[in-house]
Amino acid sequence: MNDRVVFEDVSKFYGEILGVNRVNLSIPPGITSLVGPNGSGKTTLMNLMTGLVRPTRGQIRVLDYRTNDPENLFRIVGYSTQFDAFPRGLTGYQFIYSYLRLGGRDSQDAERLAWQAIERVNLADAASRNVAGYSKGMRQRIRLAQALSHNPKVLVLDEPLNGLDPLARSEMIAVFRAAAAEGCHVIISSHILHEVDVISDRVILLSNGYVIAEGQIHSVRSEIHEHPAQILVRCTRPRELAAKMMECPSTIEISIHNDDRGLLIKTRDADRFYLMLNQIALNGVDIESVAPADDDVNSVYEYLIGNDEVVR
């Protein structure tokens, strides 16, 4: 059985408005983040992979299931949408319980799973209250509980951390990580880059309906040749190191840190830079640490898309 979520040349148009265009993806298990500004196509991509909208062109398979087969698809998929509306008159518990009963589960099974999911999102105290009276964060959590309730293999989460307080955020991130560790696909959309950086194994960068990059952050960064790599080196003799590094032809710019104990080096060839740095270290320059300064989602995003509408 295929263990991937596959998009094959998928396009979606809403009338004449482009949702996404010519998307080809193969998403493995783990945490994958969809990153892009508002209107870039993140939600469309999620709605497409859950069958809430149909592609204008192309095919989508979720672990071999077609997206127009909800009866089987949603046995393995849980989707926490951004739609902040619920069936009228239901309590938090009834919301999850009814969802599970709709799947054909018997009363006992549904009750057990509903409480499990509610406890996972720390909402047991409010479970008997009407969802209409929940705060934004509670509504977000109950939607997450619904998506998690049947222990799906694919979790699709549209801006799942919106409205959550810092404690709840870290709890949810732990839940996502645990699911990913169990071999789950956790597909998250977010425009908060530092969160994406913390939780993602892979990113898919979207802009104006197009996938402009995908893969592990480091791999994506290394493919961006037009922007020199920035490397932060902490050492005791930065001026000496700067003089040596300037001999390397790929070095573009070096700036010495304010505290005089570090350098920020811009280079066109990171591999060559690291080789040279090793030689310098062997020749007696004391180097405390070396770290890429722009090998993160923030930088990748800024290089590829720009920084509009993105929260860092």
Site for other proteins, rule CB under 8 A: 14, 47, 50-54, 68, 70-75, 79, 81, 83-89, 98-99, 101-106, 109, 146, 150
> What is the CA 128 to chain-centroid distance, rounded?
32
Judge whether 217 and 47 are in contact, CB under 8 Å.
Answer: no
Q: How far apart are the first and last CA of the chain?
A: 38
Residues contacting residue 173 through CB under 8 Å, at least 6 positions apart:
161, 195, 198, 199
Non-local CB neighbours of 267 within 8 Å, separated by 6+ positions: 228, 229, 231, 248, 250, 251, 252, 273
Q: For residues 75 and 268, which CB has a smaller minimum distance to other proteins in the complex?
A: 75
Question: Contact at 8 Å (CB) between 162 and 139?
Answer: no
The strand pairing partners of 158, in sequence order, are 189
Output the smallest distance, CB 257 to other proteins, in A. 49
Tell me whether residue 86 or residue 301 sits nearer to other proteins (CB atom): 86
Q: Which two tokens mark 309?
A: 């509408």
Nearer to other proteins, 30 or 51 (CB): 51
Q: How far apart are CA 223 and CA 213, in angstroms?
A: 9
Which CB sits closer to other proteins, 156 or 193? Answer: 156
Report the residue number, 13 or 303, with the smaller CB distance to other proteins.
13
User: Which CB atom, from 1 or from 282, has the smaller least distance to other proteins?
Assistant: 1
* Shortest Cβ 180–other proteins spacing (Å): 21
Q: How far is the CB of 43 from other proteins (least distance, A)?
A: 10
Alpha-carbon distance 87 to 218, whole Å? 43
CB 161 within 8 A of CB 200: no
User: Please, are residues 26 and 6 in contact by the beta-carbon 8 Å criterion?
Assistant: yes
